[in-house]
Structure 1
């Protein structure tokens, strides 16, 4: 069965890691890659006063022209890099609010793959809040499944994410399930996955000291499966929910199903 990845490029993030991640999915799982570059209309409302060291006059048209020239070069570089990595599909180009464009294009894809970046951008928050298909957020290194963790509170959101991951990547048999202040004997997801034939190692961290160990441990994995956010990012931020902390601090690639 053919599955399709929507490969999202914007003016932010590491493009090379994204392309190598898409190549990994095509070569190892036969995914069709649909690359798209989205020019964010919000960006034109906040044009920087300098581009790569050049001071620009806010009162002239130079800023926008220089930005467009740089963007044109970037799009050309992305297309060349896609071809060099065996991803021959033409890079689509869209203009609009990034989250709105993604929401529409994702109707014809199985998975969205994007760059996590070093901080929570407004675009990323909007995409996560309106998620309805699995998302792979590429971290510092390109995607691979050598070591996979599941960060679990045994809730419905992580259950859904883990199930979607296993359905998309059926050959992954070994997982490390990591929890903070939760008992393994109560974990329904662990029992469910073991009944599916998966090999699960369970690690549970306790107390305030265990919290730091929990987050540090996640840095040792190539990919971490987490549950999706609620629609209220601000609520999760204020209450310091695990999902927000993981996304903000993780160096690994994240799967949100």
Structure 2
């Protein structure tokens, strides 16, 4: 049985994360480890008064948010106890990842520093919740047949052995031999290939098709997230454009 660490954060849509957790439990019987890390600093973009007064106000509202979150978890039928820690996000998450098979986090607007810090230290797969609730029924693999997507797909097959049908989407990719297809075939996963090319398609068409699926598998980003964002690398664009949850292995 797989176990997922669910990271809740102040200002995020806890209900959206909880609905995705419920889908995981219902479809795959995942165990849940809910975690909330209290802020040690004022989050980016949050300014009320002076930093010290802002932090005092934030702590007051944050305590209320945590109690509401505990009640919401119970109301939604999740009786796993919410763990509340105080410290540095990445350090606490690294420790708790030892207890689970993957992490679920919610994408933050504009991929803020905390979100990118978490992605940098991950050594287990991650499910990034975006704007919708997945039933984990229609799955798209966004592939360039590189090492990173091969690793993600291998983790995906291991963590979701019940899924036996996927669509492989590619953008501007020509291939004669596709190792990823060979891997999927060997693992008994039925795969349909859909290729998009800038000579015949726009990126908007590609992303529109991608968002017709309720679960997206992609390769990990490099450590230079901001460079990839500036240079408009495909991995960052997928995270920014996706409305469905994303799996990165």
Is the shorter-chain TM-score for this pair beyond 0.5, marking a shared fold? yes
**In structure 1, C-alpha distance between the alignment counterparts of 2:129 and 2:43, rounded to whole Å:** 26
Query: By how many angstroms is 1:250 displaced?
Result: 1.1
Matched, 1:223 2:223: no
Query: Match of 1:189?
Result: 180
What's the CA shift for 1:183? 2.9
Contact 2:103–2:124, Cα closer than 8 Å, also in 1: yes
Task: Measure how far apart 1:184 and its partner are.
Answer: 5.2
DSSP 3-state at the match of 1:41? coil
Q: 1:149 to 1:60 in 2, by over 3 A?
A: closer
Partner in structure 2 of residue 254 of structure 1:
246
- 2:97–2:103 Cα contact (<8 Å) kept: yes
Task: Return 5+ residue gaps in structure 2 as ranges.
Answer: none
**Structure 1 residue 236: deviation in Å?**
1.8
C-alpha displacement at 1:68, in angstroms? 2.0
Deviations 1:73-115 (A, max 9, x none): 1111111111122211211111122122211211111110011
Task: Give TM-score, length-normalised by structure 2.
Answer: 0.92
State the match for 1:151 in structure 2: 142
Label 1:46 to 1:236 Cα distance change in 2 as closer, same or farther (>3 A): closer
Say whether residues 1:98 and 2:97 are aligned partners: no
Asked if 2 retains the 8 angstrom alpha-carbon contact of 1:149 and 1:178, the reply is yes
| Aligned-pair CA distance for 1:45 | 8.8
**Matching residue of 1:164:** 155
Q: 1:184 to 1:221 in 2, by over 3 A?
A: farther
Which sits farther off after the overlay, 228-237 or 125-134? 228-237
CA–CA distance in 1 between the matches of 2:137 and 2:56?
A: 44
Q: CA RMSD in A?
A: 2.0
Call closer, same or farther: CA 1:120–1:59 in 2, change over 3 Å: closer
1:224-243 equivalence runs, <5 A:
224-243=216-235
Q: Tell me if 1:28 matches 2:32.
A: no
**Contact 2:108/2:115, CA 8 A, preserved across alignment:** no
Q: What is aligned with 2:67?
A: 76
Per-residue CA deviation, residues 151-195 of structure 1 (Å, 9 max, x unaligned), is: 000001001101111111111111110001223543210122022
Report how far residue 69 of structure 1 moved: 2.2
Paired residues, what number? 248
Q: CA deviation at 1:238?
A: 3.2
Structure 1 residues 43, 203: closer, same or farther in 2, change over 3 A? Answer: same
Distance in 2 (alpha carbons) for counterparts of 1:24 and 1:60? 40
